[in-house]
A and B are shown apart, each in its own frame.
Chain A
Amino acid sequence: MYAALWRLLPGPLWLRIVLVFVLLAIVLFTLSTWVFPWVDSIVNNQEVTVGRP
């Protein structure tokens, strides 16, 4: 799967490596800005108070 994605990238080796880092940055930004806060709002069930069983 990742090998196929690598082959889809155009250009010489150095450009592909740059593109990989750009794509990774986009993925990380998307995750931390939208996906993780949304997941957190669902799974974050940390109880720190007393009296709420």
Chain B
Amino acid sequence: MPPAEPTRRALRHRGRRARVSVVGVLGELLITAGVLVLAFLGWQLWWNDMVMAGQQSTAAAEISQTWIDADVSNRDPAAAPEVDAAEAVDFGEPVVAETAGESESFAVLYVPRFGADYNRSIAEGIGNDVLNSSRSGIGHYPGTQMPGEVGNFALAAHRSANGGGMHRINELRLGDAIYVQTADGYYTYRFRDLEYVAPTAVDVIAPVPHNAVAAPVDRFITLTSCNPLLSTAERIIAYGVLESWQPTSAGPPAEVAAVIDAQAQG
């Protein structure tokens, strides 16, 4: 190192020390605060959202697999004939499960429009213990009907952050499949339409949406989330109606099978 270097450095240091001031430190603290706020938003909307989405998807795959395994082990190979073409068979009235306990995961949601590998478990209740949970992310409105039941199977999830279970709800198109898997089997709903309502519009989750007095005949599914993105000013509502049902022993619909197989392979 050349001998001139230390002196020059020392001079530069002295110059910098002289410039330290209250305003300078305050400015640096304010810049730091701004960076921290941006870092938090990045963490909340991107990093933690991504981490939780992965955890929720893994949890859904686990519970789905336990139902499939339980069915295989309970089945008597001689008594239960294998069904090859599930689409062609009518399995009759869908099985309706008992209402699950508070914050208990009782179903798995598959929506191919939300992503080819999209799966989330549905838990009872719409509190933060369900919606912000890394085990679930989708909440079932207590008091609304169960999958396959006549009436309205109503769900809520975040649009962004906390795994963003319904991030792409606005992309649903008429006829899109919404699959619900339970311990009993697979319920295929078809998306019908979107609606934008005020946060107070409780009648969207009524057994017949928007009609408090009509007796329900159809089997609806209703998804609710917030709208616009990153805002809570309105609610976005997606309605679907049950198309078909098949028991666990008949195997999952093709699109659901693809998700389950992909998860099983890691």
Q: Are A48 and B200 in contact (CB under 8 A)?
A: no
Most chain B CB inside 10 Å of its own CB: which residue of A4, A37, A40, A46: A46
Distance A15 CA – B111 CA, assembled complex (angstroms): 51
B91 located at the interface, meaning its Cβ lies under 8 Å from any Cβ of chain A in the complex: no
B208 located at the interface, meaning its Cβ lies under 8 Å from any Cβ of chain A in the complex: no
Please classify how large the interface on chain A is, using the bins under 10, 10 to 19, 20 to 34, 35 or more. 20 to 34
B55 located at the interface, meaning its Cβ lies under 8 Å from any Cβ of chain A in the complex: no
Distance A24 CA – B225 CA, assembled complex (angstroms): 36
Known: A3-B16, A40-B48, A53-B200. Contact between A46 and B161, CB under 8 A? yes
Known: A3-B20, A4-B20. Contact between A48 and B159, CB under 8 A? yes
Known: A7-B13, A39-B40. Contact between A32 and B131, CB under 8 A? no
Q: Are A47 and B226 in contact (CB under 8 A)?
A: yes
B8-49 interface bits toward A, Cβ cutoff 8 Å, 1 = contact, 0 = none: 000001001000100011001100000010011001100110
Residues of A within 8 A of B132 (CB): 44
Known: A32-B47, A44-B161. Contact between A50 and B29, CB under 8 A? no
Please classify how large the interface on chain B is, using the bins under 10, 10 to 19, 20 to 34, 35 or more. 35 or more
B241 CB to closest chain A CB, in angstroms?
A: 19
A41 CB to closest chain B CB, in angstroms?
A: 9
Known: A49-B141, A50-B205, A50-B235. Contact between A1 and B29, CB under 8 A? yes
The contact sample of 29 A-B pairs, CB cut-off 8 A, is A1-B28, A3-B20, A7-B16, A28-B39, A31-B36, A31-B40, A31-B43, A32-B43, A32-B47, A36-B39, A36-B44, A40-B48, A44-B132, A48-B156, A48-B159, A48-B166, A48-B224, A49-B126, A49-B224, A49-B235, A50-B200, A50-B202, A50-B204, A50-B224, A51-B199, A51-B201, A51-B202, A53-B199, A53-B200
**Those 3 A-B pairs whose CB atoms lie nearest each other, nearest first:** A51-B202, A49-B156, A1-B28
Apart from A1-B28, A48-B166, 17 more pairs, CB < 8 Å:
A4-B20, A7-B13, A31-B40, A32-B43, A36-B43, A36-B48, A37-B48, A39-B40, A40-B48, A44-B128, A44-B161, A44-B162, A45-B232, A47-B199, A48-B131, A49-B126, A51-B205
